[in-house]
A and B are shown apart, each in its own frame.
Chain A
Amino acid sequence: MSTGTTKLDVVVSDVVPVNDLVTRFHFRRRDGELLPTFSGGAHVVVEMRDGDLTRLNPYSLMGSPLDTREYTISVRRDDVGRGGSLFMHRSVKPGLEMVVSYPVNLFSLDLRAKKHLMLAGGIGITPFMAQTAQLAGAGGNFELHYTCRTASLGTYADVLQERYGRRIRLYHDDLEERIELDRLLTSQPLGTHLYVCGPAGMINWVRARAAELGWPPETVHYEHFAAPQPGLPFDVTLAVSGKTIRVGEQQSLLEAIEAAGVDPPYLCRGGVCGQCETNVISYDGEFIHNDHWLSEEDHRSGCKIMPCVSRFEGKSLVLER
């Protein structure tokens, strides 16, 4: 059995369109009991049964950790993705019975911090919804800087401003409002921790500036779930289980391995946690690495792959599974 993948039987209790791109989903336990406790920054893996296809996508829990009657997630529609978000938007209605994993937190607050400085981009706002609720309940010191494309796509910006007033700063791309990052990073009191969630480009930029300006790595926290990208189908040999499988265009390598009845460990399914790291025995072709877990050296070596998000193009690939 895979680590951290204990399942919860839930029912969709509400579906709320938030704006043109984002819809919020509420889940309650089917047996009416309380859901397991979680901390701000935690995610659940949602199982989507779409005909013959089962997708497992991670989403940050965005409700208050103080309320475990329901879990809420917000899903941004991705029209060119593999279809997970489209399935959520089109097919998930109140009353639908679904299965989600126990919550797992790979982006937790460091509660020793004197202050929490949060930087969100786009749908990267969701873990901060839970973290701010957790901190506000405990009188924590935080400040959230939120960049969104336009005011109408500033998901939950209004809610956050109403709740926390001046602790929330908004930046709108269409108004050419830009976060003054260096000034922000050099004016924080000692003991501040930095949290970033958003597009990969934003995370890389913030991490690079923070490192350059002398922020110790222990004080910089980030989360970016890479969605598995669709791509050309490819064949893989699983050496340990003696199987040869085909990874479909819309399928991730991890999903294809699971569909063949092999059960590798996993946790985040977004290239972050490292659980599904798999050794490559031999290959003839090119890897398409999409994870944030392996080092650049690992990527170049051709010895390892993260099957949750990465793909392969070429003649042959043999994995130690």
Chain B
Amino acid sequence: MAAKTIISRPIYGTLSPQPGKHHLFLADAEGALAIVDMAKTAPPGFFDGAEIVFIPGTDGKHVAVLEALKPAQFHVAPSFASLLPRLKQTLTNAHMGLRLYLAGTEGLIGQAMQVALEAGIDHTSMQTEHRGSLARRMQCVHCKGITENVTTQPATCAHCGLLLLVRDHYSRRLAAFQGVCINAEDRSEIPPVEEAFP
């Protein structure tokens, strides 16, 4: 669980079954286990109206445990970018009563939330649970490039190469933490790099 620092730092909860007949789950890697844990308290027949979209981690684990929940639809995707058209299509055709559950890394939760916000779901209406890596999606405030899976502090921008302080300042609109140049006065000054978001 990520620590609360400043007000824009997202706080995640624990998935819990919501009322309604249609449930859409999006998870990556260990996020699958949040769904499995939630399923223990779900009423009978809950997954009859559920769709699970899952992006396995590099270890490829947890596909079978999700399948075992027998959701009405189960879809395994190689990456978030690859499932985006499908997600947008689902949300476009959806009606009020669809509940959204996001579980896994912050990058997955943030990007799925960004799409759902555009579809008109209030961020407080979504269930979220952080599991697995603390890796961050970061936007360089200088060149605006996004760097995925940032685990170090400071981190190098994958676009312009500046060394950036990864802030807790988070943008829901961009689904990214803000990275600000850490040595703007003297570029030769290189602070020690730590593995801050394993």
Chain A contact residues, CB within 8 Å of chain B? 112-114, 185-192, 194, 211-216, 218-219
Quick one: given A213-B21, A214-B19, A214-B21, are A189 and B96 in contact (CB under 8 Å)? yes
Partner of A213, one of B92, B97, B121, B125: B97
Per-residue A-contact encoding for B9-34, CB less than 8 Å = 1, 0 else: 00000000011111000000000000
Docked pose: A38 CA to B66 CA in angstroms: 51
B interface residues (Cβ-Cβ under 8 A, vs A): 18-22, 91-92, 94-99, 119-122, 124-125
Known: A186-B95, A186-B97. A191 touches B20 (CB 8 A): no
26 CB contacts below 8 A, A to B, read A112-B122, A186-B95, A186-B97, A187-B95, A188-B95, A190-B94, A190-B119, A191-B119, A191-B120, A191-B121, A192-B96, A192-B120, A211-B19, A212-B19, A212-B20, A213-B20, A213-B21, A213-B96, A213-B97, A214-B19, A214-B20, A214-B98, A215-B20, A216-B125, A219-B122, A219-B125
A113: nearest chain-B partner, CB-CB? B120
- Can you name the residue of chain A whose Cβ is closest to the Cβ of B122? A218
**For residue B124, which residue of chain A has the nearest CB?**
A218
For A216, give the chain B residue with the smallest CB separation: B125
A143 to chain B, nearest CB (A): 13
Residues of the B chain whose Cβ atoms lie less than 8 Å from the Cβ of A214: 18-22, 96-99
A214 to B22, CA, bound (A): 8
Q: Which residues of B contact A189 (CB under 8 A)?
A: 94-96, 120
Q: How far is the CB of A117 from chain B (nearest CB, A)?
A: 8
Question: A114's closest neighbor in chain B, by CB?
Answer: B120
Q: Do B122 and A216 touch across chains, with their CB atoms under 8 A apart? A: yes
Task: Give the dominant DSSP class at B's interface.
Answer: loop
Whether A213 contacts B120 in the complex (CB less than 8 A), given A187-B95, A190-B96, comes out as no
Q: A190-B91, A219-B96 are in contact. List 12 more A-B contacts (CB 8 A).
A: A112-B122, A186-B96, A190-B94, A190-B98, A191-B119, A213-B19, A213-B20, A214-B18, A214-B21, A214-B96, A215-B97, A216-B99
Q: Which residue of A is nearest B18, CB measured?
A: A214
Set A113, A186, A218: member contacting B125, Cβ < 8 A: A218
Contacts of B21 in A (CB 8 A): 213-214
Measured in the bound complex, the distance between the Cα atoms of B121 and A185 in whole Å is 16
Q: What 3 A-B pairs have minimum CB-CB distances, sorted nearest first?
A: A191-B120, A214-B20, A216-B125
Quick check: A190 and B120 within 8 Å, CB to CB? yes
Q: How far is the CA of A249 from the CA of B92 in the complex (A)?
A: 56
Beta-carbon contact of A188 and B124 below 8 Å: no
Chain B residues with CB under 8 A of A185: 96-97
Minimal beta-carbon separation of B81 from chain A (angstroms): 22
Give Cα A219–Cα B97 distance, bound, in whole angstroms: 11
Nearest chain A CB to B87 CB, angstrom units: 12
Residue of A nearest to B96 (CB): A188
Q: How far is the CA of A187 from the CA of B92 in the complex (A)?
A: 13
CA distance A216 to B125 in the complex (A): 6
Query: How far apart sit A188 and B120, CA to CA, in the bound complex (Å)?
Result: 12
Per the bound structure, the CA–CA distance linking A247 and B31 in Å amounts to 60
Question: Once the chains are docked, how many angstroms separate the CA of A299 from the CA of B124?
Answer: 28
User: Cα distance A38–B120 when bound, in Å?
Assistant: 25
Structural contact, A190 and B121, CB atoms closer than 8 A: yes
Distance between A219 CB and nearest chain B CB, rounded to angstroms: 7
